[in-house]
Amino acid sequence: MIRGGTPLQGRLAASGSKNAALPIMAATLLAEGACELQGVPVLRDVTTMTTLLASLGASVSQQEPAGTLHIDSGSVQRFRAPYDLVKTMRASILVLGPLLARFGRAEVSFPGGCAIGSRPVDLHIQALEAMGARISVESGYIIAEAPEGLRGADFSFDTVTVGGTENAIMAAVLARGESVLRNVAREPEIGDLVCFLRRMGADIKGDGTDTLVVQGVSALHGASHRVMPDRIEVGTYLVAAAATRGHITIDGVNPDLLGIVLDKLQQTGADLSCESHSIALDMKGRRPMAVDIETQPFPGFPTDMQAQFTALNAIADGRSRVTETIFENRLMQAHEMRRMGADIEITADTARIVGRETLQGAPVMASDLRASASLVIAGLVADGETRVDRIYHIDRGYEDIEGNLQCLGADIRRIST
């Protein structure tokens, strides 16, 4: 439950990145020794991945300080990722490459997660087949086999895919010979995965570009790694501060990770002050200006920030256009914002928005993770009370969001999960 109208003020520390932690956790399946991960966020998706790894036979334990995981895959003897776990989190597909590369077999249910449109795994499968895997689909499971091991391949993705890139990298590190992966995704979280794999002994070149060259090695060892900060979480809080005409500082994040998101925030009229490991935003009490958004693969505008800017534009000064090019159903939150009085017209993949001075509190329902965050932002700027239902979505990607917002002065409380 949210009572809006209070500008956010204060200071937060960035959490570890969900989108980096999940593939890195999956990558521990490649190691012949124990791994220690620091800065892992406390999220529902992380709990699901922990449960999945344990179901395969890995030893997973929480350590001090908070956010530290000890993972040892030396006792893995099962290679099936069951539907009951995979259906709740799309990132479960990321165990496919590591299991196949190290053990020669993987059985992974088709993944679930947020209902934001089609996200086929065809490209994951094609990359693994190029490395010599035999893959079939049986009763909703992807069955992958490589009893003699994988071999290096020259493979080009037809379209940019983050998960497909991550699975292909993790498979290639133990393949025989050289793999050249072309048209790969360039998100910073992939760079963090590559950094962790190098710590385990992988030979990977080209991170940050659209072509990766991987020299396969015979084995990987355990390693320690600190997960990078969550640029989407940071961006969400910055947008919330801009929408509420507030002033906040977020520590523990490299501003370079935010890139075009900071550019768009400046276009709203926000004063930004960036240090090497902090970002301060100050609206000086001003209403934000409307900004046009078009999502693109990194380094373009991230699809995971689109919903938050849709909420900001709903109360901004001026007209804006938000175009979603990555997922076909990711404007669903706009329908709920219209229940709060937002002036939004949706045509195909584009929302045309006329900003209003304020919104009206109303009961709304979240459809996915980032839609949840956008509806919270809308509630923070609305008159009266807003109730966001199905808030369990938000626990998949934001660690204690209501506690953090309360620290910034928001009138928000959780009344159920």
Q: What are phi and psi of 142, to 5 degrees?
A: -85, 115
Task: Find the helix or strand (DSSP H, E) in which 379 lies.
Answer: helix 369-381
C-alpha radius of gyration, the chain, whole number: 21
Contact 333, 351 (CB under 8 A): no
Contact 162, 123 (CB under 8 A): no
Task: Find the helix or strand (DSSP H, E) in which 272 lies.
Answer: strand 271-275
Residues 35, 114, 195, 407: which is the catalytic one?
A: 114
Task: Find the helix or strand (DSSP H, E) in which 51 lies.
Answer: helix 44-55
Q: Which residues pair with 282 in a beta bridge?
A: 247, 271
Residue among 61, 147, 151 nearest 106 (CA): 147
Cα(260)–Cα(265) distance, rounded to whole angstroms? Answer: 9
Place of tokens 């000064």: 317
With a CB cutoff of 8 Å and minimum separation 6, the contacts of 293 are: 264, 301, 306, 309, 310, 313, 320, 321, 322, 323
With a CB cutoff of 8 Å and minimum separation 6, the contacts of 127 are: 153, 155, 157, 164, 167, 168, 171, 181
Chain centre distance of CA 136: 28
Residue 114 annotated to the active site: yes
Q: At 82, list the tokens.
A: 């069951």
Q: Active-site positions? A: 114
